[in-house]
Structure 1
Amino acid sequence: MSPRLRRSASGRPAPSAVPGSPRPAGPAGPATGVPAVELRGVRRGYGQGAGAVTALGGVDLVLPAGTFTAVMGPSGSGKSTFLQCAAGLDRPDAGQVLLAGQEISSLGEDRLTKLRRTRIGFVFQSFNLLPSLTVLQNVLLPQRLAGQRQERARAGELLARVGLGEHASRRPGQLSGGQQQRVALARALITRPDVIFADEPTGALDTRSAHEVLGLLRDAVDALGATVVMVTHDPVAASFADRVVFLAGGTLAGELHHPDPRTVADRMLTLSASPSGAAA
């Protein structure tokens, strides 16, 4: 594991020194008191008639800025739909989604696309790097797509922070899976987003690489002031978060603060054994 990810007494990675000054709080920064993401009565269903499925059945949730939240639940509990609605990738049938205080669920597609490019970062299980671009070009891609000035110096600092400063000119195919996911994290941070959504970010990684990526997500919150919302099925991954929110049958089923893997695993077993945990 990178020396940047030295662990504190609690077992979580402690913040480390950063080249230059830390990222200032953005529109949803901790100083403003405005949540990074807020869901108000969000409902989403699919299909009609007897085949209709309720993926989210009225979710109310506040995700504070500058925190790391893990979202867990049994298969079919609504985790993916939650992430898609919260990130503006899907529209709820009812309710509101607010990003840093701005209601986004009713925005037109053009405005929503621009918002996603500039104010939301994504880290997916499959990395989603463009193989024809260099590592540096992949990190700068969100700014390029948004028509922003490409901050090559910042991209270099972010790559150095994730331990890939000497790999900027390589192609994704020349990197390991763990290294590619670290590039994806640097790419997610380049626009200084209000929130980073991570969808099973360690699902395709070995244990060591997974811990490195999770440590970097933790470090992004502690040292850079980022807000991270991560969907995961892994209790160990969830233990890197400040808070775990559980979904079951499309509704909230409790939460844990400062979780440890065993407690998270026990809660997941309970939900999986419950009839409501397997619904939707």
Structure 2
Amino acid sequence: MTDQAPGLHLRGDLLLDGDVLLPGLALEVPPGAWGCLLGPSGVGKSTIGRLVAGLPGPQGLRGRFGTSDGHGTAGRVALMAQEGQLLPWASVLENVVIGARLRGQRPERDRARALLADLGLGGMERRRPGALSGGQRQRVALARTLMEDAPIVILDEPFSALDAATRLAMQDLAARALAGRTVLLITHDPLEAVRLAHHCWLLGQGGAIALDLPPAAPLRAHDDPQTLAAQAALLTRLQGAAAA
């Protein structure tokens, strides 16, 4: 990584097509930490991710957003979107190294192959996305994101298509690979939030509520009693938000 990871801060009203989607947000992720957004579908989690990534679209902010070092996020963010957005005509390997090729750099194919092997995709480098399962495509998209040396990473439902055991393994790998980066994780999974996040917010119509997490630092063991208790508490809060 060539750029030290900055912290993120976002305060104000989240807008969609000029209308207030989420009022009174106050989100802050320290440098090198994981911040997590939980909440029901359609509440605005991915909209915040797009805003942080600087993508064009109907999202906006009536307030302030920036980084702790004052340099902004332009050119410093890697985004793994929900859809994966793999190139259907390109091989798995070429999808993983596409970022370097678009920047006119020499692709690190050996590194990409090693990463694919770590993700359980060894031997699939020449396949195209159409020949993969949904979980395999999601892992290719994760590999592409991990290949980038961006100091800020946005993971939007990165493990949702994986079975439970593979999801835990990929969480472990992502936590190791992204150590020292500032990560914004968007998820519906309370256990995922508890395992990975330093800070977590529940999004709802009234804005964002900071949630309590166990005192142990991430990566938290999935079977630790404090992890399980926090997961149950977050699930209860999430069910309440969905019913509101």
Give the CA deviation at 1:27: 2.2
Cross-structure match for 1:20: none
**Which whole-Å CA distance do the structure 2 matches of 1:235 and 1:200 have between them?**
12
**Which whole-Å CA distance do the structure 1 matches of 2:135 and 2:54 have between them?**
27
Give the CA deviation at 1:231: 0.9
Alignment counterpart, residue 46 of structure 1, candidates 16, 22, 42: 16
Cross-structure match for 2:63: 95
Residue 51 of structure 2 aligns with an amino acid whose one-letter code is: C
* Partner-residue secondary structure (3-state), 2:195: coil
Q: Indicate the RMSD between aligned Cα atoms, in angstroms.
A: 2.8
Cross-structure match for 2:150: 193
Contact 2:34 2:197 in 1 (8 A): yes
Contact 1:74 1:268 in 2 (8 A): no
Cross-structure match for 1:122: 79
Alignment counterpart, residue 245 of structure 1, candidates 178, 181, 201: 201
Matches within 5 A, 1:200-279: 200-222=157-179, 225-243=180-198, 244-249=200-205, 251-258=207-214, 260-270=227-237, 272-273=239-240, 278=244
Alignment counterpart, residue 103 of structure 2, candidates 146, 169, 190: 146
TM-score, normalization: structure 1? Answer: 0.70
TM-score, normalization: structure 2? Answer: 0.78
Give the CA deviation at 1:176: 3.0
**Which whole-Å CA distance do the structure 1 matches of 2:122 and 2:177 have between them?**
17
Give the CA deviation at 1:136: 1.0
Q: String of CA shifts for 1:239-266, please: whole Å, max 9, x gaps.
A: 2213322222252211233472442442
Q: How many residues are treated as equivalent by the alignment?
A: 229
Q: String of CA shifts for 1:179-200, please: whole Å, max 9, x gaps.
A: 2222111101222111221112
Cross-structure match for 2:221: none
Task: Determine if the alignment matches structure 1 residue 58 to structure 2 residue 24.
Answer: yes
Which segments of 5 or more consecutive residues in structure 1 lack a partner in the other structure?
1-23, 105-111
**Which whole-Å CA distance do the structure 2 matches of 1:139 and 1:182 have between them?**
10
**Which whole-Å CA distance do the structure 2 matches of 1:168 and 1:47 have between them?**
41
